[in-house]
A and B are shown apart, each in its own frame.
Chain A
Amino acid sequence: MTITRRGFLGAALVVAVPAPAQDQQIRTVFVRVDARGRITATVPKPDTGQGVRTMAAVLVAEELAVEVADVTLEQAPGDPATYGPQAVANSTSSRQMAEPLRTAAATARCLLIAAAAARWQVPVEECTARQGRVRHPAHAALPYRSLVPAAAALDPATVAVTLTPPERWRLIGRTRAGRSDARDIVTGRARYGAESAPAGSLVAVVARPPWIGAIPDTVDDSATLAVPGVVAVVRLAAPGAGQGGVAVVADRTATALRGRELLKVAWTGGTPAADSRVWLDALEAALAAVPGDPAVQRVYRLPLLAHAPMEPMNATAHVTATGVKVWAPIQDPGGVRTQLARALALPEAQIDVRPTLAGGGFGRRIETDAVFEAVACSRAAGQPVSVRWTRDDDTRHDSYRPMSVHRLSATLGADGLPVGRAHQVVTWPLSVSPPFASPVVVKASGDHFPYAVPGDVTVTLRPAPLRTGFWRGVYAGQFGYAEECFLSEIAQAGGHDQVEFRRRLLPAGSRLRAVLDAAARSHPDPDGVACHLDYGSAVAVLATVDAAARRVRKVTAAVDVGVPVHPSGVRAQVEGAVLDAVSTVLGAQITVRDGAVVQSSFRDYAWARITDCPAIEVVLVGSDAPIGGLGELAYPPAAAAIASAFAAYGGPVTGMPYGVPVG
């Protein structure tokens, strides 16, 4: 018997469909229990380090009354019609995954209980599942494996499925289990993109535009093709919003890199004189003047940022007469499948997309450029080809967080609290494609001012002079940063306590006030404070710095995510957001000179090192709110709290990074 689930929003509907008689398994889209009692969960979304696989294991273990380690994980291929939304973006994963996975596991549990009740001839209400067994007061407990054949033969439509109520949760929000893939990670066995390529795959590296927008004019590949092991040189058209280039396909990575060095490409077109200082000045020049008191306004200039995941971009593809198979660290397997189907004019059924573990994503792996490159190379070579980006490629050809300028202004009441506010933003869209080219969408993403101060945000979009993309926090990373830094400056100018100032602007009993109070209890007398409310979650961040040493000493973040499914993972996401904030406030930025990105690796893209790491405390604040999002949540306020903390000792925040020229 096979159970499929239709409809991923609202109430779950479980439908039985015929399955081979010999298939003695309880089988739903997301959960299987086999005749040996082994439980397998199919994780619908890719894990980029944010922990969705562990979350899936916790949810399934909870509902099947086993331990987290008892659940084996499989990764779903790209197929949203079967698995529901699969993109990991915009802090949606926990909210989208929790109900389908719990329902699937609860269905399996209720079938097992029904089978036991039938065997014992007792009412199902008298039976419970615990520790992998079904129990009844009058009978010896039955392990799941002894019940699977009978349970698999039941019609699930005849079984009432009940979710475990929160007061009986053993694992959700409570488990001390670590990350599900941790053992593979610490032994080096974890398989990311390169390790997932089929044996015998060729490797390709790509000569990329030396300045923005350049395209290959003439290519002399004679020296490249003379290198033993080089198989082909492939000219790549610009895939989607990506860039073109010339791929060198070889039997080994070192060979491909050597072949790329010997390639002679004449490039044409593009913007060889582009300069990010000019871009930023042009955005600032587009800000309108604000009438009123110039003392209560501030302009913020924010730089380009790269994603720089530890695993550089890569993808493996095998194009055959019957279709295309892709193995890649990606954030949107369904999107990859749809885009490939459209581009190749193939039915989706002929495109098999296998997301691998991803060595970080942060929004970069929403882009599909590496996949399209691999497909083009495999098509040309007639074999599976794994395209590998070097770190230099990754740093210089990212989909960057857009530059932005912000003019904040406020009118203050007699008590020094703001009674009106205005926020003008001039920036670039995240993508040339709708809906992201719309100021309405940009505003909806960034405009989350949580305090009781009337006012508005106006957004002006200018065409992006290079490829932009989603970056942690999306536009709240810029909007919220500017708004909180400005609020801090007003409070500081008026001699107010930063926490108390914000408390007065937040309704009593609100989630945000609760997290602010919780953070303040753990972190007395902070230098910087900021809050954020988004994705159905609330966070307050407090920071203490050593301004003279330009070091962040301590950061406390109190967070209310409704249901912190995997507590260690929740803390990890917040810790990561704090380190992103440390990095971007202290110095990481991408600059463009003479048409090219200046930075090329972690040597000059100044990401935080362990030496920059503050003490971080994450306080989980309970509430009865539904499960909320988290991945994007804590970055904007963490950056604002840290920058404002430095401003408590030095000049005001005028952009990002703090205290250095931007652009």
Chain B
Amino acid sequence: MSRYRLHVNGRRRTVDVPGETPLLWALREELGLTGPRYGCGVGACGACVSLIDGAAARPCVRSVEDAAGARITTIEGLHDHPVQRAWLELDVAQCGYCQPGQIMSTVALLAEIPDPDDEQIDRALRDNVCRCGTYPRIRAAVRRAAEIVRGDR
């Protein structure tokens, strides 16, 4: 058991866990940030995607030790973000379990590519699984979020 300092959603937090503990469990069970969902634990589904130093990352396969000192943003760190607004406008979600991960992957995409084409959207979200089949609405919502960011309409 060791003490690690995590920088999460703009706040400094400390957790007392073994260093190899997956970051996902530290976020969920030590810090109460349950928006990142457990879907697979092996980095294969994207339900936990959060930002680490601005890039989309999978806390289920990152250790606390590795993430200490980095700037972590979970879905709870977004506040009325254009991507969230687009998701609501297009009524994207079905069960919703994968959507925090889809949204965080999209936030990372738009930070890098403000006006992605379909191929770029597909590439960025290829490893975010949605079992309900919301992909057509996700594609549309990513484009809509890009519009909102640009200030269209």
Q: List 13 A-B contacts (CB under 8 A).
A: A181-B96, A182-B93, A186-B99, A187-B76, A187-B78, A187-B84, A252-B25, A252-B29, A309-B95, A309-B97, A310-B95, A602-B44, A613-B135
- Contact check, A391 vs B133: say whether CB atoms are below 8 A apart: no
Q: Is B59 an interface residue (CB 8 A)?
A: no
**Extra inter-chain contacts (14) besides given A187-B84, A610-B122, CB under 8 Å:** A182-B91, A183-B88, A185-B93, A187-B78, A194-B38, A254-B17, A310-B95, A358-B95, A575-B136, A575-B137, A578-B133, A601-B44, A601-B45, A610-B128
Q: How far is the CA of A188 from the CA of B35 in the complex (A)?
A: 4
Cross-interface CB contact of A360 among B40, B92, B132, cutoff 8 Å: B132
Q: Does B98 contact A (CB under 8 A)?
A: yes
| B14 contact set on A, CB distance < 8 A | none
Residues of A close to B58: CB separation below 8 A: none
Judged by a CB distance under 8 angstroms, whether B75 is at the interface is yes
- Give the most central of B37, B74, B98, B126: most A CB within 10 Å: B37
List, in ascending order, chain A residues with CB within 8 A of B127's CB: 609
The interface bits of chain B over 124-144 (1 if a CB of A lies within 8 angstroms of the residue's CB, else 0) are 011111111111111100000
Q: Which residue of B lies closest to A228 (CB)?
A: B1
Does A360 contact B91, Cβ atoms closer than 8 Å? no
- Min CB distance B59 to A, Å, is 12
Q: Among B21, B84, B89, B130, which residue has its beta carbon within 8 angstroms of that of A254?
A: B21
Q: Contact check: which of A184, A254, A311, A575 meets B37 at CB < 8 Å?
A: A311
Q: Is A247 an interface residue (CB 8 A)?
A: no
| A174 part of interface (Cβ distance < 8 Å) | no
Residues of A within 8 A of B68 (CB): none
Q: When A and B form their complex, what is the total count of cross-chain residue pairs whose Cβ atoms lie within 8 Å?
A: 180
Query: Across the interface, which residues of A come within 8 angstroms of B114, CB to CB?
Result: none
- Taking CB atoms and an 8 Å cut-off, the chain A residues in 359-405 that contact chain B are 359-362, 388, 390-392
B93–A391 CB distance below 8 A: no
Q: Which residues of A contact B (CB under 8 A)?
A: 47-51, 178-179, 181-190, 192, 194-195, 228, 252-254, 308-312, 357-362, 388, 390-392, 568, 572, 575-580, 601-603, 607-611, 613, 615-616
For A391, give the chain B residue with the smallest CB separation. Answer: B40
User: Given known contacts A182-B87, A188-B34, A390-B41, is B131 in contact with A309 (CB within 8 Å)?
Assistant: yes
Residues of B within 8 Å of A392, CB to CB, are 41
Flag whether B56 is at the interface (Cβ < 8 A): no
| Most-contacted residue by chain A among B74, B129, B132 (CB, 10 A) | B132
CB distance from B94 to the nearest CB of A (A): 4
| Contact A179 to B37, CB < 8 A, known contacts A576-B133, A603-B44 | no
Interface residues of B (CB under 8 A from A): 1, 17-18, 21-22, 25, 28-29, 33-42, 44-45, 47, 74-76, 78, 84, 87-89, 91-100, 103, 121-122, 125-139
- Compute how far the CA of A521 lies from the CA of B90 in the bound complex, rounded to whole angstroms: 25
- Are A192 and B37 neighbours in the complex by a CB distance under 8 Å? yes
* In the complex with contacts A192-B37, A195-B34, A610-B121, A360-B97 CB distance below 8 A: yes
- Please measure, in the bound complex, the distance between the C-alpha atom of A312 and the C-alpha atom of B137, giving whole angstroms: 23
Q: Which of A186, A359, A390, A579 contacts B95 (CB 8 A)?
A: A359
- Asked if B76 contacts A188 (CB within 8 A), the reply is yes
Chain A residues with CB under 8 A of B139:
610, 613
Q: Are A51 and B94 in contact (CB under 8 A)?
A: yes
